[in-house]
């Protein structure tokens, strides 16, 4: 696959404009890193509806005992 270039950006901008004129919205879902950089460099992130890049969710610790204590320890003083 060829890397995106200014012609790609021009076509996407024209498509987004045409979509807005008829009451629709263009959104780019999961664009390549190269396309994302080109769109960002041109300042067209919002106009082209580029979704923010999502970071993987951090794993949460499983629910359970937070502290360990001795058998005779009391939770309430």
Most confident range, picked from 18-22, 47-51, 70-74? 18-22
**For the residues 63-77, what does the mean pLDDT come to?**
58
pLDDT of 27 strictly over 70: yes
pLDDT score at 46: 86
DSSP letters along the chain, please? -PPP-HHHHHHHHHHHHHHHHTT----B-S--HHHHHHHHHHT-TTTTTBPPPPPPPPPPPPSS-SS---TT--S--
Question: pLDDT tens-digit profile of 35-61?
Answer: 999 999 999 888 888 876 665 555 565
How many angstroms separate the CA atoms of 33 and 77, rounded?
57
pLDDT of 4 strictly over 90: no
0.75 cut: is pTM over it?
no
């Amino acid at each position: 696959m060829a890397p995106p270039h200014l012609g790609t950006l021009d076509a996407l901008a024209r498509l987004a404009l045409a979509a807005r004129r008829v009451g629709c919205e263009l959104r780019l879902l999961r664009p390549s890193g190269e396309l994302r950089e080109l769109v960002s460099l041109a300042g067209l992130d919002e106009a082209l509806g580029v979704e923010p890049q999502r970071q993987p969710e951090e794993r949460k610790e499983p629910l359970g005992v937070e502290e360990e204590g001795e058998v005779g320890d009391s939770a309430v003083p």
